[in-house]
Amino acid sequence: MATDAPPPSKEERPLPSAEEFSEVQQSAEFAELRRSFRSFAFPLTIAFVAWYLLYVLLSNYAGGFMGTKLFGNINVAFVFGIAQFVTTFLIAWWYSRFAAAKLDPKAEAIKSRMEGGA
């Protein structure tokens, strides 16, 4: 399988020093990367945990409601349970798209600068 990419360099680059890591950590660029991640991840995590706890609480304390048959042998609890899986996969897909579009370019810019490429 042929690629257009050049072969990796054989020369070893020195690792960044602790001071360089601290400098990057204090930079506005890194702060923006952290802010972007947190503004996406924290609200979504809180919403998902609340949704999960709602499911658990309804399962424990609202058995009549959760046992309500919707069609055939399918009840509300089953639909909510399947919705937990669907929600998990949707969040993973959404985060993957968000990270590829917003986080990865910022992280790659920081990484290349740290490795001496910029």
pLDDT tens-digit map of 18-72:
888 888 889 899 899 999 999 999 999 999 999 999 999 999 999 999 999 999 9
Which tokens hold the place of 37? 């991640």
Question: Of 118 and 15, which is predicted with more confidence?
Answer: 15
**AA identity, residue 88:** T
| DSSP-based three-state secondary structure for 13 | coil
Between CA 42 and CA 38 the distance in angstroms is 5
Question: Mean of the per-residue pLDDT values for the chain?
Answer: 89
Rounded to two decimals, the pTM is: 0.75
pLDDT of residue 82: 96
Residue 53's pLDDT is 97
The residue among 48, 46, 40, 54 whose CA lies nearest residue 97 is: 40
DSSP 73: T
- Count H helices, E strands: the chain? 5, 2
